[in-house]
Amino acid sequence: MNRIIIIYGLIAGFIVGAMMLITMPMYDKGTLDLDNGELVGYSTMVIALSLVFVGVKSYRDKHLSGIISFGRAVKVGVLITLVASVCYAGAWEITYSKIGDGFMQKMSEHYFQKMKEDGATEAELAKAKEDWVGYAELYKNPFIRFGVTIMEIFWVGVVISLISAGLLRKKEFLPGSETSPS
């Protein structure tokens, strides 16, 4: 089980980490805007974390004779997600060390502009800017930043783990070649 968790977690982590290292400089240079970047980022997470499904299926078919409980499938999926999440947070730390302050400034400007467009009052904007200063100060702490970054991707993996476990607990669902009826 550990080998499957590490292999699939590292592959998923490599995919999301590499995509971050590719796209973040694009944000910094203005060739990719934050709205489209969010779509690209979360799409990449879903694609990379599809390896949770593949990893759980591999474990079920190769080590458990084609039968896995919902709980064990969730456990394997969440552990794969955890490995990928740590890789993702590590990639963010590398990226943040290069473009962090400028990115945070652009992100806050974008956020406040969206609030204005959505009809926020001056009082709401002032409160949001005051809150942002506190968040920005907390975000300077690498341990907090690392934890926040892990949670950004982790919940996506938990959802995919639950879906995978629900599907793969049925031995009839995509049976492995050794468990297929003759």
Q: What is the pLDDT of residues 147-179, one digit of tens each?
A: 999 999 999 999 999 999 999 998 877 777 654
What is the overall mean pLDDT for the chain? 88
The DSSP secondary-structure symbol of 66 reads T
The DSSP secondary-structure symbol of 31 reads S
Does the structure show a pLDDT above 60 at 130? Answer: yes
> Distance (Å, rounded) from C-alpha 5 to C-alpha 76?
7
Does the structure show a pLDDT above 80 at 103? Answer: no
**Counted domains in the chain:** 1
> Distance (Å, rounded) from C-alpha 80 to C-alpha 141?
26
Asked whether residue 80 is domain-assigned, the answer is yes
Asked whether residue 49 is domain-assigned, the answer is yes
Question: At a CB cut-off of 8 Å and minimum separation 6, what does 156 contact?
Answer: 42, 45, 46, 49, 81
Contact by Cβ (8 Å): 71, 88: no
Asked whether residue 142 is domain-assigned, the answer is no
Q: Which tokens sit at 86? A: 């740590």
Domain range enclosing 44: 2-98+153-168
